């Protein structure tokens, strides 16, 4: 296996956009190419994360984007769409990484794109739930919002976590997003704002959940021997691990056993431990998801996630900053682009280019994305660790 570096990243602003997914994808890709100092002539393969179930453009988005960006006119490269629900972008990055690390290609692009805000929220949620063919959970309305509510209630009963601690996760996310020009929401909120916002899935309120967003993000990956051709500030992929759920009814809503296993393998591959992580961008589709991630990733003991956020340990300047970007909760969640949006943030942080949300002197940044829910368990977990 060869070393792989990211030499260019690009991203649109996440949020409500009047543009199509196609035009958003072109913007992110061209920005990544410009960041890498190339016109794309050297690109040999592309992997494109796109959920597509809610997007007007249902398929072949990568072919359209790369054509519009002028890539396909130079060479008839393989373009592969990747769909793994909310982890589609992260899996696209992993596929590009594997292709370069394995020596199949020297230069590859990973792109994630999604257009979602044209649909009312209830219609989008219904579409996501019923899109799981013959899945009785989806048909009966067992969508992520309901499952996160159950997880939060169980965590409160088992460990004494409070609604106030859950609210502090959202307050932190919005505070960080307010200083992130790429974020969907750029405003500060208070604990009272969270607790007084409409109850969505008790004990969770509106501000405890991420929005649907439009957006795109891209990364250019090259083999380590080509790095100097593109940049003096490469960011290396230290680990890329993906695992799927057990789906055997023997788990517990709070164990996060898949994420725990994924993290352990990622730490081993990177040669580090949880205490070496300087920043984590995690899949906080809900505040309880971030608290569970603290515990599963080893940032704090099981059951102490509420205490961890209350003590300020997950803030910029804390022991392990989490979601300096604002996370899915406030930066936004354009499903197919989310994982690559996290990658964009990781690269910017490791280069020292994150502006007002910069974490001091990071050496290792972890990203975690999940995709899908079945039998109360996340279908897919992806953990990447990046290093300078």
By three-state DSSP, how is residue 218 classified?
strand
Whether the pLDDT of residue 275 is over 50: the answer is: yes
Q: Does the reported pTM lie above 0.85?
A: yes
Residue-wise pLDDT for 50-104, tens only, equals 997 777 777 789 999 999 999 987 778 999 999 998 999 999 999 999 999 999 9
What average pLDDT does range 296-305 have in this prediction? 97
Residues of the chain with pLDDT > 90, as a percent, come to 79
Burial 278-287 (b: 16+ CB within 10 A, else e): bbbbbbbbbb
By three-state DSSP, how is residue 222 classified?
strand
What average pLDDT does range 352-357 have in this prediction? 98
- Catalytic positions are 86, 333
Pairing, β 107-114 against β 377-387: unpaired
Burial 182-203 (b: 16+ CB within 10 A, else e): bbbbbeebebebbbebeebbeb
Measure the CA–CA gap between 78 and 260, rounded to whole angstroms.
34
Average pLDDT, the chain: 92
Whether the pLDDT of residue 218 is over 60: the answer is: yes
By three-state DSSP, how is residue 94 classified?
helix
Is residue 324 within 8 Å of residue 281, measured between CB atoms? Answer: yes
- Domains belonging to the chain, first-starting first, are 4-118+214-237 (3.40.47.10), 139-208+240-387 (3.40.47.10)
Residue-wise pLDDT for 320-332, tens only, equals 999 999 999 999 9
Residue-wise pLDDT for 99-138, tens only, equals 999 999 999 999 999 998 877 766 666 655 544 444 555 5
CA dihedral (190, 300, 210, 199) positive or negative: negative
Whether the pLDDT of residue 377 is over 80: the answer is: no
User: Which has more confidence, 234 or 255?
Assistant: 234
pLDDT at 255 (0 to 100): 75
Which residues fall within 8 angstroms of residue 338, CB to CB, at 6 or more apart? 86, 87, 89, 90, 112, 283, 328, 369
pLDDT band at 190 (very low <50, low <70, confident <90, very high): very high
Element (H, E) at 27: helix 21-36
Residues of the chain with pLDDT > 70, as a percent, come to 92
User: Which has more confidence, 263 or 117?
Assistant: 263
């Amino acid at each position: 296996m060869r070393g792989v570096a990211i030499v260019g990243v690009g991203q649109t602003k996440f949020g409500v956009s009047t543009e199509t997914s196609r035009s958003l994808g072109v913007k992110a890709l061209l920005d990544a190419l410009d960041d890498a100092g190339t016109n794309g002539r050297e690109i040999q393969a592309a992997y494109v994360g796109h959920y597509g179930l809610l997007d007007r453009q249902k398929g072949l988005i990568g072919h359209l984007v790369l054509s519009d960006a002028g890539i396909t006119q130079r060479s008839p490269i393989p373009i592969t769409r990747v769909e793994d629900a909310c982890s589609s972008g992260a899996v696209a990055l992993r596929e590009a990484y594997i292709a370069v690390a394995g020596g199949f290609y020297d230069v590859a692009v990973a792109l994630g794109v999604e257009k979602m805000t044209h649909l009312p929220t209830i219609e989008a949620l219904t579409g996501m739930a019923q899109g799981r063919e013959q899945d009785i959970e989806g048909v009966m309305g067992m969508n992520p919002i309901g499952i996160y509510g159950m997880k939060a209630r169980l965590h409160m009963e088992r460990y004494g976590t409070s609604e106030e601690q859950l609210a502090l996760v959202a307050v932190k996310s919005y505070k960080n997003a307010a200083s992130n020009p790429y974020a969907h929401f750029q405003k500060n909120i208070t604990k009272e704002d969270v607790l007084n916002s409409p109850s969505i899935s008790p004990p969770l309120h509106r501000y405890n959940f991420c929005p649907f967003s439009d957006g795109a993000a891209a990364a250019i990956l090259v083999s380590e021997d080509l790095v100097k051709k593109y940049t003096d500030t490469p960011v290396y992929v230290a680990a890329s691990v993906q695992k799927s759920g057990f789906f055997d009814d023997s788990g517990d809503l709070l164990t996060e056993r898949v994420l725990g296993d994924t993290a352990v393998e990622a730490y081993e591959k990177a040669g580090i431990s949880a205490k070496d992580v300087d920043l984590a961008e995690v899949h906080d589709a809900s505040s309880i998801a971030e608290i569970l991630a603290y515990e599963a990733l080893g940032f704090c003991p099981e059951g102490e996630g509420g205490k961890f956020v209350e003590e300020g340990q997950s803030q910029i300047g804390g022991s392990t900053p989490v979601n300096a970007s604002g996370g899915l909760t406030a930066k936004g969640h354009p499903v197919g682009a989310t994982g690559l949006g996290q990658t964009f943030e990781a690269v910017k942080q490791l280069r020292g280019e994150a502006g007002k949300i910069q974490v001091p002197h990071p050496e290792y940044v972890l990203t975690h994305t999940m995709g899908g829910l079945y039998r109360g368990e996340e279908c897919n977990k992806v953990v990447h660790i990046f290093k300078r």
